Amino acid sequence: MQLDAQPPNPSGRLTDSVLEIRDLRIWFGATEVVRGVSLTLRAGEVLGLVGESGSGKSVTSLAVLGLLGPAARVEGSIRWRGREMIGLSNEEMRSMRGREIAMVFQEPMTALNPVMTVGRQMTEAIEAHERMSGREAKQRAIAALEAVAIPEAARRFGDYPHQFSGGQRQRILIAMALVHKPQLLIADEPTTALDVTVQAQVLELLKTLQREHGLAMIFTSHDLAVVGQMADRVAVMRRGQVVEAGSAEQVLTDPGNAYTQSLLAAVPTLRTDREKPLAVVS
């Protein structure tokens, strides 16, 4: 289903899109869990992916990151800045991941290594893609922690993940994701594990950084209000397909699709005014 297709220019390439997913199909064994998904993402744009549990949001994101593993069969096309990603070797994918395309997932505790200090994990992430002295890497890491408002970043550099709060751990992961100045950030339910006030703060941080860095972002959430605050455009998934896509405003206030309407009906209140700052309770 191609709900958000743009007319191609004469060379056949879409003009300003950085990510083009065309007719993506993903199988686990005989089960087709993503069934012909097409999505386009422009530079600096946030695409919200919503839909019920099991609709294929995470596997679509993982396919873009090349992280599905050998159990999955992937067909179709995922072009990142004109380059086909499906079929890249693990090594090619690894060099892209973290550098051009970064990710933040739901569970900061499982994404961080519990027995390694936060500082060491950060400097390792930095040194994975850039050659620099240990001292420089440490300075970079501390600056990155300061950018996500970790108090006393230099002092806390040697602390372990469990010594930080859940919100701080997610900030640390955001800092790690952005350390190489990627152009695309894939955020899969990045605040779902956090309580509501902390969630609002982390979302506001993410939105600020997204704007500052001009990041393109795929933002996955089952929370439509959250997606309304973050996304420029929204795609609604159901049973492995995109059933509706359009501007966040249109999809979240005037959906054409009955399934989107039913999702919205389940949300008590929804504010789509994305210019308003999120309520931050301190």
Binding site for ligand ATP (CB under 6 A): 28, 33, 51, 53-59, 71, 222
**Nearer CB in complex with ligand ATP: 55/168:** 55
Q: Which two tokens stand for residue 243?
A: 């059933």
Residue 74 C-beta: closest distance to ligand ATP, Å: 12
The C-alpha atoms of residue 202 and residue 168 are separated, in whole angstroms, by 9
> Which candidate, 3, 64, 14, places its Cα nearest to that of 233?
3
Distance CA 74, CA 54 (A): 17
Q: Which is nearer to ligand ATP, 55 or 260 (CB)?
A: 55
How many other C-beta atoms lie within 10 A of the C-beta of residue 199? 20
Of 111 and 141, CB closest to Mg ion: 111
**Minimum distance from CB of 220 to Mg ion (Å)?**
6
Complex with ligand ATP: residue 26 or 112, whichever CB lies closer: 26
Shortest approach of Mg ion to residue 196 CB, angstroms? 20
For the bound state, the minimum distance from the C-beta of residue 179 to Mg ion, rounded and expressed in Å, comes to 25
Binding site for Mg ion (CB under 5 A): 57-58
Q: Which is nearer to ligand ATP, 44 or 76 (CB)?
A: 76
Residue 34's H or E segment, with its range, is strand 31-42
Query: Residue for token digits 């800045």?
Result: 81
Residue nearer to ligand ATP on the CB measure, 58 or 183 = 58
Query: Which amino acid, residue 91?
Result: E
Q: Which does 59 bind (CB under 5 to 8 A by kind): ligand ATP, Mg ion, none?
A: ligand ATP
What is the distance between the terminal CA atoms of the chain, rounded to a whole angstrom?
44
33 binds, among Mg ion, ligand ATP, none (CB under 5 to 8 A by kind): ligand ATP
| Residue with nearest beta carbon to Mg ion | 58
Give 223: exposed, middle or buried? Use CB within 10 Å, 0-12, 13-18, 19+.
Answer: middle
Smallest gap, in angstroms, from Cβ of residue 59 to ligand ATP?
A: 4
Take residue 224 and report the two structure tokens written for it: 């439509």
Rg (CA), the chain: 19
Q: How far is the CB of 237 from ligand ATP (least distance, A)?
A: 6
**Of 218, 98, 104, 120, which is closest to residue 169 (Cα–Cα)?**
104
